[in-house]
Amino acid sequence: MSKVENLEEHRIFDGMQYKYRHHSELLDCPMTFSLFLPNKEKFPEPPLLWWLSGLTCNDDNFTHKAGAQRAAARLGIAMIMPDTSPRGEEIADSSDYDLGQGAGFYLNATQEPWASHYKMYDYLTEELTDLVRVELGLDGPEFISGHSMGGHGALVLGLRNPERFQSITAFAPIVNPSEVPWGIKAFENYLGKTEEDWAEWDAVKLMKQHSGKRVPILIDQGDKDPFYKKELEPAKLVEAAKEKDYPLQLRIQSGHDHSYYTIATFIEEHLEFHINELKK
User: Is 139 an annotated catalytic residue?
Assistant: no
Beta bridge partners of 49: 79, 143
Catalytic residue among 148, 210, 220, 274: 148
Q: CA–CA separation, 57 vs 236, rounded Å?
A: 26
Residue 33 parent element (H or E): strand 29-38
Catalytic residue among 225, 256, 270, 274: 225
Q: What is the DSSP string of 190-227?
A: HH-S-GGGGGGG-HHHHHHT--S----EEEEEETT-TT
Catalytic residue among 152, 210, 258, 270: 258
Is 51 within 8 Å of 77 (Cβ atoms)?
Answer: no
Q: CA–CA separation, 244 vs 196, rounded Å?
A: 21
User: Is 202 an annotated catalytic residue?
Assistant: no
User: Is 23 an annotated catalytic residue?
Assistant: no
Residue 100 DSSP SS3: strand
| Residues with active-site annotation | 148, 225, 258
